Amino acid sequence: MENPWKTHTSKEIYTNPWITLSEHDVTNPGGGQSIYGKVHFKNLALGIIPLDGERNTWLVGQYRYTLDEYSWEIPMGGGQLGIDKLVSAKRELKEETGLEAAKWTEFLKIHTSNSVTDEVGYAYLAEDLSEGETSFEETEKLEIRKLPFIEAIAMCGRGEITDSLSVAAIYKLARMLKM
């Protein structure tokens, strides 16, 4: 389908190592003159659901500055554009949980908030796990929780997990596993 939006000018408003905010003067699909703000993410969003032989998983808890609240999530982080996303997913799982996996399956691609951002997220199932040491980043103060995967599904249903990539990945994997 042809793009019904016509961009006239674009300007960068703000940038940091993670995002760029730009403003675009546009003609909208109805023919009106408008502005559109876009948040460009400089990394991919990568989420991992580690699953052991007894169908246990690991969640990561942390205080999210932007929300001003505590959040339970699947292990996740950013993957640099231009670097194999699986390499970045393996790094994130190891950093946040200490886990390494012998088997990896990509099972989800998601646009996290496509009305204002171009962020793309991917989720992986990590299996055949071995435990090791974590290596949190300076910006992370994490709590790690091992629990039955069925409980993570229930946490989504009760609104205890609200991160979009986590909810989408947990529900999609539950469907794949017929849970």
Distance of CA 62 to the CA centre of its chain: 14
Tokens 């995967």 identify what position? Answer: 149
Distance of CA 17 to the CA centre of its chain: 17
Rounded-to-integer distance, Cα 179 and Cα 171, Å? 9
pLDDT of residue 142: 85
* Phi and psi torsions of 173, nearest 5°: -65, -40
pLDDT of residue 36: 94
pLDDT of residue 106: 98
pLDDT tens-place string over residues 76-119: 999 999 999 999 999 999 999 999 999 999 999 999 999 999 99
SS3 assignment, position 49: strand
With beta carbons less than 8 A apart as the criterion, state whether 15 and 40 touch.
Answer: no
pTM summary value: 0.92
pLDDT tens-place string over residues 25-68: 999 999 999 999 999 999 999 999 999 999 999 999 999 998 99
pLDDT tens-place string over residues 133-152: 887 777 778 899 999 999 99
The percentage of the chain sitting over the pLDDT mark of 70, rounded to a whole number, equals 100
Distances (CA, A) of 71 to 4, 113, 115, 161: 38, 18, 23, 7
